[in-house]
Amino acid sequence: MTAATASAPRARTRGAASRITGGLLHRLLPLVLLVAAWEAATRAADSAFFPPPSQIARRMRELWLSGPADHLYLSSEAGDSIAPSLGRMFLALVLSVVVGVVLGIALGRSQRVLAYLQPLLQFARVIPPPTLVPVFIVLFELGTQMQVASIIFSAIWPILLNTADGARSVDAVQMDTAQVFRLSALDRIRFVIVPSALPKIFAGLRLALSLSLILMVFSELLPGTSDGLGFMLTNAQSQSDLGTLWSVIVLLGILGYLFNSILLVVERRVLARHRGARKANS
Amino acid sequence: MAHEPTPPRGLPRPGVWARGAAGVAVLFLASELLGRAGIVDRSFLPPASSITARALELAGDTEFLFNVRVTLTAWALGLLIACAVAIPLGLLFGSVPAVNTAVRAIVEFLRPIPSVALIPLAALVLGSGLEMEVPLIVYASSWPILFNTVYGLDDVDPTAKETLRSFGFSRFQVLLRVSLPSAAPFIATGVRLAASIALILAVGTEILSGFGDGLGMFIAQAGNVPDGTTDVLAGTVWAGCLGLVIDTVLGRGEDRLFRWHKAQRSGAS
């Protein structure tokens, strides 16, 4: 940052390139060093519980990337374990977003309805989601239904409450203006309420994403499931297969990082567009 | 309804309370009727009155209270250690930019690992009970505290820092006198987020562990009994109450301690 302000304009392009490589080096080097140190430490310790990273990487390739080239090298194991997990998570996340945003806007725009539901919503939000999984097992029986329901129940609250909060705090002048221009209710939602609630919605979405990843794994760890990454974990645990155990954990970390990055990119684009539109309007 | 301009707090306080109570009563009645009507099997969805009765009964049950105490011990211990680890680390990362960029990549790869995925590994390495629960809670609840501390330090007024530094105060003294107080509200928000995550982990590990004590264990075991749904739901009600008490106490404490600070509450990651 200080380099950016100090550099002369004509040196900017070259400065930017070296800054990016310098920044990358600065960010990635510690990670590389950490992995190397971890490798050395685990080799020295030679503990069955802590396999070295190289071994974990080999096991990961063996597990998920040993398939034929026409399947993008994905093995059948990847289809059996990763696909059902992600499928359930995305189904649940999409449903939570749709229901949470729609209900959140309705609640945010109606003080009275919100007042009726507020205590219930607050209580539902503070129940630790894992406690509800046994309840859902009773209600839905084991399997996809129960898993999707428990993910939805954890992911929907941050989205719903944040959307309601955002929809409630729409600028009154904007609402009045929309009324003067006789915008229909739908247009008001589309052009006024949603844009101004979007930052809050995304903040809720980020919380919901990490919660849904947690609940996805949790609901699969329970006895009675037959597929998914969580099932792979329990299976590996019962066989004391630490290579697989570590591989799944690392994979879940990568997936979580990937989802979060994608969400951040989407957020930046969407918010930038809306901010631009609002600036042009004013 | 959308025709009204939006006043910040439209309804009077008693009105809000009355409506909230009405909402709870309606849900209670609806579930009572649904439970009694026999549309759904009563062992699946017991009427609300019997869940409430059972929950009240459990409040006097010494074994149940013991279970709650076990869960709360793990929760408190984990959260305390997380604070002791994450706040100093956050202060270090936040006040030394070079360390911050260096550690960021490592943190970005560690944080997304869903903490429950570590339960099977922790069970193998650490066994069961408190020895396994507490490290998992510490791992999971350190992140929000760490991030909010770093974020809070980022927000400190640079003029105040420069002023103190020009008076000859050392880096460490500036940190203690300006940065820490100014970051404190953010740290408190992080601790509140961490508290709910710690509760999720405490109950979650107990549900999965299969044996031992704790509120989660109580709920999981009740779920295995053919007629245990009432117990499961009563335990869930208590888990919610615990969450509510923790959230309210920490929220109120935050309001009281940092009344001068208008922190943006929601949306802190």
CB distance B34 to B40 below 8 Å: yes
Give the lowest-confidence range in A74-78, B171-175, B193-197, B202-206: A74-78
Q: What chain B residue is nearest to A237 in terms of C-alpha separation?
A: B120
Q: How confident is the model at residue A143 (pLDDT cuts 50, 70, 90)?
A: confident
What are the sequence ranges of the domains in chain B? 63-265
**Amino acid B48: pLDDT:** 84
CATH number of B63-265: 1.10.3720.10
CA distance B208 to B216: 8
Tokens linked to A7: 């550099």
**Contact by Cβ (8 Å): A134, A219:** no
Q: Which residues of A touch B110 (CB under 8 A)?
A: 253
Of B15, B116, B199, nearest to A221 by CB-CB distance is B116
Distance between B182 CA and the closest CA of chain A, angstroms: 23
Q: With an 8 Å Cβ cutoff, are B124 and A242 in contact? A: yes
DSSP-H helix ranges across chain B: 13-37, 48-59, 62-95, 97-110, 119-126, 130-154, 158-166, 171-174, 180-209, 215-224, 229-257
Residue B128 DSSP one-character state: S
pLDDT at B257: 83
* Per-residue confidence (pLDDT) for residue A281, from 0 to 100: 52
B217 touches chain A (CB under 8 A): no
The verdict on B234 touching A (C-beta cutoff 8 Å) is: no
ipTM passes above 0.85 = no
pLDDT of residue A2: 43
pLDDT of residue B239: 93
Of A30, A132, A242, the CB nearest to B102: A30
C-alpha A87/C-alpha A77 separation (Å) is: 15
- Which is more confident, A15 or A237? A237
* Cα separation values, B82 from B4, B130, B178, Å: 46, 15, 23
pLDDT, tens digit (0-9, with 9 covering 90-100), for A158-207: 999 999 988 888 878 887 888 888 878 788 887 788 888 888 999 999 88
Contact A126 B240 (CB under 8 A): yes
The residues near A229 (Cβ < 8 Å, ≥ 6 apart) are: A81, A82, A85, A216, A217, A220, A248, A251, A252, B117
Tell whether the torsion through CA atoms of B42, B43, B45 and B48 is positive or negative: positive
**Do A27 and B104 count as a contact with CB atoms less than 8 A apart?**
yes
Best mutation site among B41, B118, B121 for testing chain A: the one with the most A CBs within 10 Å? Answer: B121
- What is the per-residue pLDDT for A14? 62
Judged by a CB distance cut-off of 8 A, whether residue B253 touches chain A is no
Inter-chain contact A131–B114, Cβ cutoff 8 Å? no
- At B262 the pLDDT is 54
pLDDT in tens, B21-68: 888 888 888 888 877 776 666 667 788 888 888 888 888 888 899 999
Query: What value does the mean pLDDT take over residues B247-252?
Result: 90
Q: Please tell me which of the candidates A161, A179, A218 has its beta carbon nearest to residue B116.
A: A218
Domains of chain A: 95-281 (1.10.3720.10)
Write the DSSP symbol of residue A71: G
CB contact under 8 A, A30 and B233: no
Nearest CA in chain B to A118: B20
> Is B5 touching A (CB cutoff 8 A)?
yes
* The pLDDT of residue A5: 46
DSSP conformation letters of A226-240: -SSHHHHHHHHHHTT
How close, in Å, is residue A111 to chain B by CA atoms?
A: 7
Cα–Cα distances in angstroms (integers) from residue B48 to residues B25, B53, B188, in the given order: 11, 9, 36
CB contact under 8 A, B19 and A112: yes
CB within 8 Å: A214 and B243: no
Tens of pLDDT, residues B152-163: 888 888 888 888
- Nearest of A252, A249, A162, A254 to residue A208 by alpha carbon: A162
Chain A residues in contact with B204 (beta carbon < 8 A)? 128, 130, 218
Q: Which residue has the tokens 């059902």?
A: A84
* Cα B208 from Cα A117, distance rounded (Å): 32
| % of chain A residues with pLDDT over 70 | 88
